[in-house]
Structure 1
Amino acid sequence: MKRIGAALALTMLAAAAPADDPLLRPIAPDFAKQWLTPQPPVKVFGNTYLVGFGGMNVALIKTKTGLILIDGALPQAVPAIEDNIVKLGFRLKDVELILSTEPHYDHAGGLAALTRDTGGLVVASKPAGAVLKRGRNGPDDPQMADLLPFPPVERLRMVRDGEKVRLGDVIVTAVATPGHTAGSMSWTWKSCEGERCVDMVFGASLNPVSAEGYRFSDPANAAVVTAFRYSFARLRELPCDMLISAHPVHSGGVEKMARLIEGASPNPFLDPGACSAYADKYARLLDERLAREAR
């Protein structure tokens, strides 16, 4: 009887233990804590919401026929993202599209799990799509030596610069902003409250960072510097009333979010100069990096 009881107890414990999910296995959990501070889901403006974290933005756009998600954070972040979507009163199965800004594990690691759980289709640039399919970055990425693999994405649509992605009554435009990665893509759309409509921008990272030993000034990497310059100019030219950057700290988003949650008026994200300031900040950092390398 004791043997039967012990066997039954072990069986019950095994059933209660969470099954290992390969798409949710944490990546760099200690390092990633800086990005995944809990944050309540919040409406930014009109049909646009944030369902991510204190150090990592994940956006949600409501349309008449479904939901558009922007970015997927890390695998271990997926349950919290999904919980935030549900807390807003939406259904996971209504996520039709998941737009990718860049194929790094911190922004793309959760895409495979999110597509499985929602049935949504990932949309990315062609260069990013190649990385997402294999789940590993290539030698064209300045950070390659420091980057970790992530779950590959199987369901994928690739779009070109300037291509318009439509879902219901919302059109999102793909804006190529390479440099940080070769396939980085920012996204723009209109968001309305009553008669007032604003130009929203979800900006991919522009930070000129790299693995140890990489030199942006190396002639072999001239194309990367040119890509950054192109992206800075592109951001400055965009119609941009509200900017959501992939990492909120890069554009003052931490402070803006805190004020938004407090009910500040006017809306703290409303800033027509935000995209230009974002581009100018990282153009200066690139110039400073090149100057240091020249010494």
Structure 2
Amino acid sequence: MEPKEIWRGIYLVGGAGISHPADCCVYLADAGPKLVMIDAGAGSGAGAILSNVEALGFEPSRISHLVATHGHIDHIGGISRIKEATGCRVIAHRRDRDAIELGDPALTAADLYGIEYWPEKIDTILGGDETAQKIGDLEFHFIATPGHTPGSIAAYIDMGEGRVLFGQDVHGPFSDVWGSDISEWKRSMEKLLELEADILCEGHAGVFRGGEVRGYIESQLLRYSRV
């Protein structure tokens, strides 16, 4: 697969078939003078992710912010390399701070992947249920979506063509080791449904459009309905 535009100004630049087999889906938003990256992959694919950004016609140095949706290695392992290359600021929730800044191999799930994680400082620490931040020409809304991990977040932006939701790892999975809470996750998914997004950019399942967005989230709620 090649990096591609999936919505006007929104790009897929990383993932298992694009940058490295261990990577989550990595997205890029064009915010005019700045670029915003959503997650960073597991680490080994960081160079490929940056090359994909270039292949789409962007200078990686324009990446001003990197949103870490939660503290698992397949989403945060590439932060140190991308931050070193671009000088970007990392945005994440305080409840996943120990995973990102301290790098506990259980919290990051690095022990499951057999990958070494290089801890990184969070520059903008989110707290509470929702925070809005203007980055370049776009306003990002960050929503706490605990459940998969305590500090999981989703982000959405309203563009002229509709609402784009970055809802990484809607599908779970869950583990007591990471501090997962399925009851919290179910409430978080209800919050995502209320957003009525036109596009869902998921962490591993890819991109959903229109009615597929609600259908996918509801299918995951049904999947775990007896848990």
TM-score by length of 2: 0.86
CA contact (8 A) 2:53 2:59 kept: yes
Q: Which residue of 1 aligns with 2:215?
A: 277
Decide whether aligned partners of structure 1 residues 191 and 138 sit closer, same or farther in structure 2, where only a CA change above 3 A counts: same
Higher share of residues assigned strand: 2
| Equivalent-residue separation in structure 2 for 1:209 and 1:68 (angstroms) | 26
Q: Which runs of 5+ in 2 are unaligned?
A: 18-22
Q: Deviations over 1:108-164 (max 9, x none)?
A: 11111111111001101111233200112567x9x7974665210125211233101
User: What does 1:37-56 align with in structure 2 at a 5 Å threshold?
Assistant: 39-53=1-15, 54=17, 56=24
**Matched residue pairs, number?**
218
1:112 touches 1:153 (CA, 8 Å); kept in 2? yes
Q: Which residue of 1 aligns with 2:20?
A: none
Residue of structure 1 aligned with 2:139, choices 148, 171, 188: 171
Written as runs of structure 1 = structure 2, the 5 A alignment for 1:44-83 is: 44-53=6-15, 54=17, 56-83=24-51
**What is aligned with 2:118?**
151
> 1:270 Cα deviation (Å)?
3.2
* Inter-partner Cα distance in structure 1 for 2:223 and 2:203: 18
* Aligned partner letter, 1:158: I
| Aligned amino acid, residue 154 of structure 1 | K
Give the structure with the higher percent helix: 1
Which one has the largest radius of gyration? 1
Deviation of 1:190 (Å): 2.1
Q: Secondary structure at the match of 1:74?
A: coil
Aligned pairs for 1:127-206 (under 5 A) are 127-136=95-104, 146=112, 150-160=117-127, 161-192=129-160, 197-206=161-170
One-letter code aligned to 1:226: S
Change (3 A) 1:144 1:167: closer
Structure 1 residue 166, shift from structure 2 partner: 1.2
Deviation by residue 1:228-272 (Cα, 9 ceiling, x = unmatched): 121121111013001110112xxxx3xx6xxxxxxxxxxxx531x
Confirm whether residue 287 of structure 1 aligns to residue 220 of structure 2.
Answer: no
CA distance in 2 between counterparts of 1:144 and 1:115 reads 19
Alignment partners' CA distance in 2, 1:72 and 1:144 = 14
Given that 1:73 and 1:108 are in contact with CA atoms closer than 8 Å, whether structure 2 keeps it comes out as yes
Let me know the Cα RMSD of the aligned residues: 2.4
Which residue, out of 54, 76, 80, partners 1:86?
Answer: 54
Q: Which runs of 5+ in 1 are unaligned?
A: 1-38, 216-220, 257-268, 291-295
Which 4+ stretches in 1 moved above 3 angstroms?
143-149
Cα distance between partner residues in 2 of 1:176 and 1:155? 16
CA distance in 2, matches of 1:172, 1:233: 20
Q: 1:224 to 1:158 in 2, by over 3 A?
A: same
Write the letter of the residue equivalent to 1:275. V
Deviations 1:68-105 (A, max 9, x none): 00000111010110000011111111100001111100
Question: 2:93, 2:152 within 8 Å by CA — same for their partners in 1?
Answer: yes
TM-score by length of 1: 0.67
Residue 169 of structure 1 and its aligned partner are, at CA, apart by 1.2
Identity, % of aligned positions: 24
Residue from 185, 191, 203 that aligns with 1:234: 191
* Local SS of the residue matching 1:150: coil
Distance 2:42 2:113 in 1: 13
